[in-house]
Structures are given as C-alpha cells and as structure tokens.
Structure 1
C-alpha cells in the first residue's frame, strides 16, 4: 500500500511517497502554495499518479507535546484532505523534522539556495519514513 507524506507549511507543501511495500519514503516535490483549490488539485493529481491509498500529514506540536495554532491549522487541513480526497489521513508528530532536514542538507554540503528549494521535500520524507518505521515495528 502506497502512502503520501506531507509537510504542510504556510507557503509550501513538501511531498514524499512510499514504495508499494510501505518500507521506504522518497521525496517527490515541493508544492508552492497558490490557493486552497490549486493545492488540493495538485495533491489529488499526485495521489492518482502514485496510486496512494493513505495520507500522512505532519502535525507540528510544541516541544511540550501540546498543539498550538500551527497544529490547529494542520488538523483543519487534515479534515479538508479527508473530505476532498476521500482517503484516510494520519496526523504524525513532526517536531524537529525541518531541523533534521536542514542538518542533513548541511552535512551534505548543499548550498543555501538549493537547501531552500528542497528542505520541505526532505522534511516530508522524514515525516513519512518515521511513520513507516513506526508501523513496521507494530
């Protein structure tokens, strides 16, 4: 079963997909947000293109585990995805995923300009891979 992982931000949405076995996550693209309808249209196209059956959406939590305003926005987006795409949506704790993505890109000596272009895709990959790893241990 293929899953899509999303790192949902104010300006961009990082996208990753799993392999058919649900073992590994690969970054696909960064969607530059243009409006709710355009964003959903692009996500729907990616879901169809990759044969996705479930969605994993990063849920930004505060470091103490509480959900703040940014988390509430993600929860609302999860509901929109469920209604629009008709697929199950799993919210997954994304604390430090962007920090981890930045660190990985710095260690790989990726230029600042290039990092800005791909960090959201890497964060989505980390979110999805963490979810897949958790599911495989269950």
Structure 2
C-alpha cells in the first residue's frame, strides 16, 4: 500500500496515456490522454500531480523480447525525465510490452466503437502499466 496516489504513464509517439491509482494504491483507473500536438505534457502532468497529490510516477518502458532498445525506449526515458523535472517525484519504470494490445482487446470485448477506442486506448494502456506496478508484492520506489 502507499500513502498517496500513483500516476501511470503510457508514453506514445503522439498521445500519452495517463492513469491514477486510488489513494490506497490498490486500483489503477484510466484518467486522461494528452495529445502532445495540442497540449503541453509537462504542464498537464504537473497539474494532475498537484491536484491528486501524487507521490510516485510509473512509466511504461518497452522491453523488447530480443533485448534491443529502440526509439520507444528513448521516448519513455525522455517522458520520464520530463515528468521528474516537472514534479520532482520519483520515477519507476515498468515493462509495457503488450499493454496496448491488452487495452485494444479489452475495448473490443467491451464492444467499444472504433472511434471511441482510439480516444481511450492510451489511458487504458496506462492503467494496465500502473496496475502491473500496483500488483507487485514489493514495490520499488525509484
């Protein structure tokens, strides 16, 4: 358990999914999608962290099956640094392999229309990333 909310981030190329935990740090819920072409990620994350009294940020970092680190890893690390610089909060990375596919499957099973899926998929993926962290028996804080 934790003494405050935890923010989950799914760092995408254009859209960044945001999820929040409950105050007890047990359940992750989708929160928002930040379209980086239209809104400033740094100010949005700072505002969310302030409003919800976030104590930790969890960022999805794609670990390839081959161990190769590509542009997606660089993007995740850049987003994590921006979040840390904006909030001063500790950052934890979680393997985000297949979270977008899991989110897509969940939305399809829920019969969500294609147009609505596109709007929701990133924040659903962020909630899967965050829930992965919350489900760990021991949670690193940095």
* TM-score normalized with structure 1 length: 0.92
Asked whether the 8 Å contact 1:56–1:128 carries over to 2, the reply is yes
User: Which ranges of 4 or more aligned residues in structure 1 deviate by more than 4 Å?
Assistant: none
1:79 aligned partner: 81
* TM-score normalized with structure 2 length: 0.89
Q: Quick one: distance in 1 between partners of 2:19 and 2:13?
A: 18
Q: Quick one: distance in 2 between partners of 1:89 and 1:29?
A: 19
Asked whether the 8 Å contact 2:43–2:86 carries over to 1, the reply is no
Q: How many Å apart are 1:74 and its aligned residue?
A: 1.1
| Candidates 44, 48, 51, aligned match of 2:50 | 48
Asked whether the 8 Å contact 1:61–1:68 carries over to 2, the reply is no
> Pairwise CA RMSD of aligned residues?
1.4
Can you list the C-alpha shifts for 1:52-76, whole angstroms capped at 9, x where unaligned?
0110011012123432221022112
Aligned residue-pair number: 135
Q: Gaps spanning 5+ residues in structure 1: where? A: none
Q: Quick one: distance in 2 between partners of 1:20 and 1:114?
A: 28
Q: Gaps spanning 5+ residues in structure 2: where? A: none
123-132 or 77-86, larger mean C-alpha shift? 77-86
2:118 aligned partner: 116
